[in-house]
Each structure stands twice: as structure tokens, then as C-alpha cells.
């Protein structure tokens, strides 16, 4: 299954609390966050194209130091959804996997399981079952408790047929709907069922410096 990976890495890293661009932060193994995020797709023979949506600083670094021939670069937008839309314009394959550039711990096992799901599905995303007890809160007071057995946290990559995802994003932009992930925009503007593929490995997004392993 050939696919394009769209890596969304245009955030401002405002919560990271470091003078260094989060994507260019060095991990304990010496690699950079962005290199680690790109690694599974660079090594995957099924990934024929990587569209990196990011800022000029990261583009400049990768173009000079880490280009592999798979990558192409485009600038991000004001919001994450704008960045994804920009990236989708460059997609060449029928299937696209959208992945957060700050989610740098993706393991091959989870990527392969997601790809396997796409052999029979039109949409699939990595998810993680919720283990905490979830409360609905209003004005600092608990309103009710949600049954965590029916809850999953959405992760990335999220896989779709590129043409369908693009059409959903176009409708969202027309209506001013701002999705927080790709699944939410497909849920709203398509009847396609989205398969949940449980992530078996640590795959959290780096938001603050404390998230670095």
C-alpha cells in the first residue's frame, strides 16, 4: 500500500518553554525531535512521499542536513487545520497518513497495524484507551463522570483516502469549522466509518519540555 505522509510541524512551541525550536530539540539518543518523527516514514518502503508542513527554520535545517529525496516542504498556516490543508494540496498518493511532527515516538508496529487496517477500511486512526476517570466540569465543579470504557484518546498517524479528506476540509473551511484532528472533520462531513487501531506503544505528543523521554 503506497501512501503519502503529511507531517504537521508548524506550531509555535509556545508551551515548550525553551529558546530552542521544539522540533530541533535534541533527544537523549542524540537525534532531534523532527528527525525522530520522520524516521518511521523515511524507512518505510510503502511511504513514497513525505510532505512536511512546517516553519522556515525547520525547512532550512532539513534541506541542508537531512533531506532523503522523499521529502517536500510547504509552509504552515495560522491553525493546525490550515497547515493540514496546505499539505494535502501536495499529496500524490491515494492514501494519506497525517502525523503530528511533535509525536516523535511512533513505533513501526503501530504504523504497520494502521496500514493493515487501511487494506479493508477507508479511514483509520491510532487511539489509546483512556485510563483516568474523566469528569465533566462546569465552574470548577463536577457535573458528571463519563464512562471511560467508551473513551479513546485520538493519536496520529490518522489515515484516509486523500481525495475524501480534502473534500471534507474544503467543506469545513467554507463553514468556518476548525477541526482539532482529521477524524473530527471526516466525522462531520462524511459517512465514512473510522476504524480505531489501538496503539501498543508510547506515542504521546511533545507539548512541554517535561514530555521529552
Residue 136 lies in a domain: no
Residue 132 lies in a domain: no
Residue 190 φ then ψ, to 5°:
-145, 155
Evaluate if residue 31 carries a pLDDT over 70: yes
pLDDT category of residue 152 using cuts at 50, 70 and 90? very high
pTM of the shown model: 0.92
Q: Distance between CA atoms of 88 and 103, rounded to whole angstroms?
A: 19
Residue 176 lies in a domain: yes
Least confident range of 7-21, 33-47, 105-119, 164-178: 7-21
Residue 21 lies in a domain: yes
pLDDT category of residue 154 using cuts at 50, 70 and 90? very high
Average pLDDT for 122-145: 98
Range of the domain at 81: 3-127+154-211
Evaluate if residue 65 carries a pLDDT over 80: no
Residue 16 φ then ψ, to 5°:
-80, -20
Return the higher-pLDDT residue of 66 and 71: 71
As for how many domains the chain has, the answer is 1
Q: What is the 8-class DSSP label of residue 210?
A: G
Q: What is the 8-class DSSP label of residue 180?
A: S
Residue 95 lies in a domain: yes
| Per-residue pLDDT, 153 | 97
How would you class 199 by CB atoms within 10 Å of its CB: exposed for 0-12, middle for 13-18, buried for 19 or more?
A: buried
CATH number of the domain to which 15 belongs: 3.90.550.10
At 176, is the secondary structure helix, strand, or coil?
Answer: coil
Amino acid at each position: 500500500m503506497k501512501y503519502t505522509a503529511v507531517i504537521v510541524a508548524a506550531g509555535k512551541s509556545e508551551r515548550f518553554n525553551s529558546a530552542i525550536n521544539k522540533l530541533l530539540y535534541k533527544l537523549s539518543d542524540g537525534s532531534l525531535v523532527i528527525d525522530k518523527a520522520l524516521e518511521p516514514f523515511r524507512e518505510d518502503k510503502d511511504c513514497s512521499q513525505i510532505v512536511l508542513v512546517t516553519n522556515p527554520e525547520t525547512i532550512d535545517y532539513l534541506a541542508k542536513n537531512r533531506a532523503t529525496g522523499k521529502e517536500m516542504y510547504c509552509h504552515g498556516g495560522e491553525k493546525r487545520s490550515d497547515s493540514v490543508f496546505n499539505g494535502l494540496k501536495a499529496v500524490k498518493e491515494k492514501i494519506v497518513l497525517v502525523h503530528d511532527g511533535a509525536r516523535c515516538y511512533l513505533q513501526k508496529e503501530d504504523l504497520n497495524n494502521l496500514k493493515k487496517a487501511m487494506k479493508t477500511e477507508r479511514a483509520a486512526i491510532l487511539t489509546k484507551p483512556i485510563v483516568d476517570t474523566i469528569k465533566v466540569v462546569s465552574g470548577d465543579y463536577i457535573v458528571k463522570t463519563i464512562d471511560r470504557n467508551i473513551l479513546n484518546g485520538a493519536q496520529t498517524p490518522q489515515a484516509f483516502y486523500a481525495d475524501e479528506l480534502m473534500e471534507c476540509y474544503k467543506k469545513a473551511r467554507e463553514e468556518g469549522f476548525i477541526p482539532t484532528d482529521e477524524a473530527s472533520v471526516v466525522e462531520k462531513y462524511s459517512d465514512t466509518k473510522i476504524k480505531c487501531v489501538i496503539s501498543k506503544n508510547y506515542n504521546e505528543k511533545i507539548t512541554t519540555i517535561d514530555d521529552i523521554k
